Amino acid sequence: MEATLDSLALGFSVAFRPDVLFYAFLGCLVGTLVGVLPGIGPLAGISILLPVTFGLDATKAIIMLAGIYYGSQYGGSTTSILMRIPGEASSVMTCVDGYAMAKRGRAGAALTIAAVGSFVAGTMGVILLTVVAPPIAKFALAFGPPEYTALLVLGLVFLAYMSSTGLPRTLLMAALGLLLGCIGIDVMTGHFRYSFDIKELGDGIGIVPVAVGLFGLGEILSTPSKTVTEKVMPPRLAELLPNRTEWRQSVLPIARGSVLGFLVGIVPGSAHIIASFLSYAVEKRISKTPEEFGKGAVAGVAGPESANNAASTGAFVPMLALGLPTGPVTAVLMAALLIHGVPPGPMLVTEHPQVFWGFIASMYVGNLMLLALNLPLVGVFVTVLRIPYAYLYPLIIMFCIIGVYEVNHSIVDVWIMLLMGVVGYLLRKFDFDPAPLVLGLVIAPIFELSLRQSLIMSNGNWQIFVERPIAQALLIVCALLLSLSALSLLLKRRDWRAKLAQAEAGDGTDRG
Amino acid sequence: MQVRRDHVAGAVILLAGVLVLAASTDLPFGTLASPGAGMLPTVVIALMLAFAVLLLLGAGASPPIGAIVWTDAAHAWRVVGVTAVAVALYIPLGFIASIALLLFVLTFVVERKPFMQALAFSGGATLLAYLVFGTLLNAPLPRGFWH
Give mean pLDDT, residues B118-140: 88
Nearest CA in chain B to A177: B44
Q: Domain check: are B28 and B60 in the same one?
A: yes
pLDDT tops 70 at residue A364: yes
Give mean pLDDT, residues B28-33: 91
Q: Domain check: are B99 and B54 in the same one?
A: no
Do residues A322 and A140 lie in contact, with contact meaning Cβ atoms separated by under 8 Å?
yes
Q: How far is A451 from B111, CA to CA, in rounded Å?
A: 50
* More confidently predicted of A91 and A425: A425
Residue-level length of chain B: 147
How close B123 comes to chain A (CA, Å)?
12
Long-range contacts of A489-496 (CB under 8 A, 24+ apart): A489/A166, A489/A167, A496/A277, A496/A278, A496/A281
- B146 domain-assigned: no
Are the Cβ atoms of B35 and A451 closer than 8 angstroms? yes
Interface mutation target, options B83, B89, B93, B122, chain A, most CBs of A under 10 Å:
B83
Interface mutation target, options B45, B78, B79, chain A, most CBs of A under 10 Å:
B79
Are the Cβ atoms of A191 and B37 closer than 8 angstroms? yes
* Structure confidence at residue A250 as a pLDDT band (50, 70, 90): very high
Mean of the per-residue pLDDT values for chain A? 83
What was the ipTM of the complex prediction? 0.95
* More confidently predicted of A279 and A422: A422
* More confidently predicted of A16 and A233: A16
Are the Cβ atoms of B129 and A393 closer than 8 angstroms? no
Give mean pLDDT, residues A341-349: 84
Q: What is the predicted pLDDT for the residue at A83?
A: 72
> What's the number of domains chain B is made of?
2
pLDDT tops 60 at residue A230: no
Q: Domain check: are B12 and B38 in the same one?
A: yes
Q: What is the predicted pLDDT for the residue at A104?
A: 83
Q: How far is A41 from A223, CA to CA, in rounded Å?
A: 13
Closest CA to A162 of A264, A312, A310: A264
User: Which of B30, B51, B67 delimits the end of a domain?
Assistant: B67
Closest CA to A402 of B80, B83, B106, B124: B83
Q: Domain check: are B59 and B78 in the same one?
A: no
Enumerate residues 6+ apart whose C-beta is below 8 A from A243: A109
How close B132 comes to chain A (CA, Å)?
11
Nearest CA in chain A to B32: A460
Interface mutation target, options A387, A391, A449, chain B, most CBs of B under 10 Å:
A391
Q: Domain check: are B53 and B97 in the same one?
A: no
Q: How far is A436 from A327, CA to CA, in rounded Å?
A: 7
Q: How far is B17 from B13, CA to CA, in rounded Å?
A: 6
Q: Domain check: are B37 and B61 in the same one?
A: yes
User: Which of B67, B83, B107 delimits the end of a domain?
Assistant: B67
Q: Over A59-91, what HEC string results?
A: HHHHHHHHHHHHHHHHHHHHHHHHHCCCCCHHH
Nearest CA in chain A to B63: A430
Q: Domain check: are B46 and B17 in the same one?
A: yes
Are the Cβ atoms of B23 and A191 closer than 8 angstroms? no
Of A143-157, A210-224, A436-450, A483-497, least confident by mean pLDDT is: A483-497
Q: Model confidence over B59-73: pLDDT tens digits?
A: 888 899 998 989 889
Do residues A237 and A378 lie in contact, with contact meaning Cβ atoms separated by under 8 Å?
yes
- B96 domain-assigned: yes
Are the Cβ atoms of A217 and B58 closer than 8 angstroms? no
Enumerate residues 6+ apart whose C-beta is below 8 A from A109: A101, A239, A240, A241, A242, A243, A246
Closest CA to A221 of A467, A418, A476, A486: A418
Nearest to A221 among B48, B55, B79 (CB): B79
Please work out, in degrees rounded to the nearest 5, the angle formed at the alpha carbon of residue A497 by the alpha carbons of A494 and A502.
85
Q: Domain check: are B95 and B120 in the same one?
A: yes
pLDDT tops 50 at residue A509: no
Closest CA to A210 of A312, A89, A325, A331: A331
Nearest CA in chain B to A415: B87
Do residues B18 and A447 lie in contact, with contact meaning Cβ atoms separated by under 8 Å?
no
Q: Which residues of A138-176 are buried (b: 16+ CB within 10 A; e: fewer)?
A: eebeebebbbbbbbbbbbbbbbbbbbbbbbbbbbbbbbb
Q: What is the predicted pLDDT for the residue at A39?
A: 62
Q: What is the predicted pLDDT for the residue at A352?
A: 87
Give mean pLDDT, residues A101-118: 86
Q: Please name the residue ranges forming H helices in A326-468.
A: 328-339, 347-351, 353-374, 378-385, 389-408, 411-429, 435-457, 464-467
Mean of the per-residue pLDDT values for chain B? 92
Q: What is the predicted pLDDT for the residue at B110?
A: 94
pLDDT tops 90 at residue B107: yes
Domain of B59?
5-67
Nearest CA in chain A to B77: A221
How close B107 comes to chain A (CA, Å)?
7
pLDDT tops 60 at residue A236: no
Q: How far is A108 from A126, CA to CA, in rounded Å?
A: 27
Q: What is the predicted pLDDT for the residue at A182?
A: 93
